[in-house]
Chain A
Amino acid sequence: MNAPLLAIEGLNLRRGATHVLHDLTLDIRRGEIVALIGANGAGKSSTLQAISGLLRPLSGRIAFDGPDGAIDLTRLAPEAIVRAGVVHCPEGRQIFRSLTVRENLMMGAYPRTDRENLPAELDRVHELFPILAERAKLAAGSLSGGEQMMLAMGRSLLSKPVLLLLDEPSLGLAPQYIERIFDVIEQLRSQGATILLIEQNAAMALEIADRGYVLEHGRITLTGTGADLARNDEVRRAYLGDLG
């Protein structure tokens, strides 16, 4: 029996006075890339924030079947969720601008106890993003937007994710960086990573994703394989800019 890595069931979430997620149910299996697409304000980021513990849901379960056995993430604080292996790479990169590039990467490794493995993994991140090795001693705020995104991803990788939550990795980036970021996502998948991806660039997200969910006003309205969704007429009209 292959239980999903993450199973969200009947999740309801309020943000201030607004009810932003309604009975949200979705699951992610090991090794999958799952894309969550939807308009601005549909509840995509809120979903990720509920998974990583930044927002407390009103009701529902978020079952994570990680290395430490099955746990309900809705009961855990964000720092415990990171330690369990669910790593959230937030929207807008959120790097520490005044810290050096190296310090930012080491912050990713903050909660880890297996510190003897860090040098090798740091090398691996430097291989994925050579610019981070070149700029190791510079303040992270001096990097360009695309480099900052690489730093944010490298930092997340050093948290040793079992499940990686990526919130709008391509937002505001130049095309050559977007390609680079998606290359890395592909590469991570080939190494067995499991990823939940939010993207405003729905076409690219569905192309790379094994499966996708469409979120509208806090409700899942459609689900299917990435290819199926990319062919779906409604999805094409609403999210892929297809007028025909």
Chain B
Amino acid sequence: MSQYLFQQLVNGLSLGSLYALIAIGFSMIYGIVRLINFAHGDVVMVGAFASLAMVQAGVPWSMVAMLALVIGAAAGMTIEAAVFRPMRGASQVTGFIATLAVSVLIQNGALLLLSGQQRTFQFPAFMRQRVSLGGVSASMTDVAIIVLAVVLIAVLLFVVYRTRLGTAMRATSENLLAARLMGVPVNRTILAAFGMGSALAGIAGLMWGGKFGQIDPLMGAAPGLKAFIACVIGGVGSIGGALLGGYLLGMAEVLFVGLLPPEYASYRDTFVFLLLIVILLVKPSGLFMRHVEERA
């Protein structure tokens, strides 16, 4: 494989990993409370700034990664307990507006506290080296993002599909009423889903910062929107769909940049949204959904 192709592949996988991590949380939250959580991207921002603060305070990197998960989870669980839970049972439009409000609140709170200035976010020197293997090379950061994402996704899938808590989450997502009749404490289960999904967003913030080198209080908008698109491509509410949608979107973006003449490269989002529109026209329920979900 030529270095050029390999580099494109690594770029696509690394970007796709970030989209997938964020999209999974989006999808889990939608699945269980039927709300598009527009504040999910802002949890990415919270994860990034919390990581920066910890690095500046001298916390070792491995610890920062662990704590980014914890802080992301805490942020998501706070949003659920403070905003979504009191509004449970309200109409979808109300919930939709509330998540927008939370997003604006977090962004402006961060602007107030941190100012709108861009901060430099640098991974330690060894992460910025290149690793070579059989004539091709890639940046350590990208490799680390890809590997870490695979590990985290594997852990998440194990919890969701192989544990009692995960089974309760899937049951609650599908039929909240029946889950209550089975004795599932639904509020705690919903809280756990927010925590797990937001933990992935938190650590995605750390990786996003390290990959692009700069963070700011409004940085959550782009990953939030891309993750939402990834979910729509894959089929909203399905974890597998979010996963595949995330990787597909990452690869597609890199492909557009690679294939298009350089003067069009900055229009890559235009092509991404064109792709989205085409997919929605052809398969409105998402590429990986077998049927439009039934709700009793």
Identify the A interface with B (CB < 8 A): 52, 54, 78-79, 82-83, 87-88, 90, 92, 94-99, 103, 106-108, 110-111, 155, 159
Most chain A CB within a 10 A radius of its CB, from B164, B175, B181, B185: B181
Known: A78-B180, A94-B178. 15 other contacts (CB 8 A): A52-B181, A54-B177, A79-B183, A82-B183, A90-B181, A96-B170, A97-B294, A98-B174, A103-B170, A107-B182, A110-B168, A110-B182, A110-B183, A111-B183, A159-B183
Q: Chain B residues near A92 (CB, 8 Å)?
A: 296
Most chain A CB within a 10 A radius of its CB, from B164, B171, B177, B186: B171
Kindly identify, within residues 142 to 197 of chain B, every residue whose CB is under 8 Å from any CB belonging to chain A: 164, 167-168, 170-171, 174-175, 177-186
CB-based contact A94/B177 at 8 Å:
yes
Bound-state CA distance A32–B164 (Å) is 34
CB-based contact A79/B180 at 8 Å:
yes
Bound-state CA distance A211–B296 (Å) is 33
Bound-state CA distance A136–B171 (Å) is 16
Bound-state CA distance A180–B178 (Å) is 23
Q: Chain A residues near B181 (CB, 8 Å)?
A: 52, 54, 78, 82, 87-88, 90, 94
CB-based contact B175/A96 at 8 Å:
yes
CB-based contact B183/A99 at 8 Å:
no
- Measured CB to CB, the closest approach of chain A to B157, in angstroms, equals 15
Instruction: Name A103's closest neighbour in chain B (CB-CB).
Output: B167
Nearest 6 CB-CB pairings of A with B = A111-B183, A82-B183, A94-B178, A78-B180, A79-B183, A107-B182
Q: Chain A residues near B178 (CB, 8 Å)?
A: 90, 94-96
Q: Chain A residues near B180 (CB, 8 Å)?
A: 54, 78-79
Q: Chain A residues near B177 (CB, 8 Å)?
A: 54, 90, 94
Bound-state CA distance A92–B181 (Å) is 13
Given contacts A90-B177, A94-B178, A97-B294, contact A83 B171 (CB under 8 A): no
Q: Chain B residues near A88 (CB, 8 Å)?
A: 181
Instruction: Name A115's closest neighbour in chain B (CB-CB).
Output: B164
Q: Chain A residues near B182 (CB, 8 Å)?
A: 82, 107-108, 110-111, 155, 159
B: contact size bracket: 10 to 19
Bound-state CA distance A111–B164 (Å) is 10
Q: Chain B residues near A97 (CB, 8 Å)?
A: 174, 294
Q: Chain B residues near A52 (CB, 8 Å)?
A: 181
Instruction: Name B293's closest neighbour in chain A (CB-CB).
Output: A98
Bound-state CA distance A99–B160 (Å) is 12
Bound-state CA distance A82–B167 (Å) is 18
Bound-state CA distance A99–B164 (Å) is 12
16 intermolecular pairs with C-beta atoms under 8 Å apart: A52-B181, A54-B180, A78-B180, A79-B183, A82-B181, A82-B183, A83-B183, A87-B181, A90-B181, A99-B167, A103-B170, A106-B167, A107-B167, A108-B182, A110-B184, A159-B183
- Measured CB to CB, the closest approach of chain A to B63, in angstroms, equals 35
- Measured CB to CB, the closest approach of chain B to A164, in angstroms, equals 12
Q: Chain A residues near B171 (CB, 8 Å)?
A: 96, 99, 103, 107
- Measured CB to CB, the closest approach of chain A to B226, in angstroms, equals 27
CB-based contact A107/B296 at 8 Å:
no
- Measured CB to CB, the closest approach of chain B to A140, in angstroms, equals 10
Instruction: Name A78's closest neighbour in chain B (CB-CB).
Output: B180
Bound-state CA distance A87–B181 (Å) is 7
Instruction: Name B178's closest neighbour in chain A (CB-CB).
Output: A94
Bound-state CA distance A95–B209 (Å) is 44
Q: Chain A residues near B186 (CB, 8 Å)?
A: 79
CB-based contact A94/B183 at 8 Å:
no
- Measured CB to CB, the closest approach of chain A to B184, in angstroms, equals 6
Given contacts A90-B178, A107-B179, contact A98 B170 (CB under 8 A): yes
Kindly identify, within residues 231 to 253 of chain B, every residue whose CB is under 8 Å from any CB belonging to chain A: none
Most chain B CB within a 10 A radius of its CB, from A87, A95, A96, A159: A96
Kindly identify, within residues 185 to 238 of chain B, every residue whose CB is under 8 Å from any CB belonging to chain A: 185-186
Q: Chain B residues near A159 (CB, 8 Å)?
A: 182-183
Bound-state CA distance A90–B179 (Å) is 11
Bound-state CA distance A88–B180 (Å) is 10
- Measured CB to CB, the closest approach of chain B to A162, in angstroms, equals 13
- Measured CB to CB, the closest approach of chain A to B189, in angstroms, equals 10
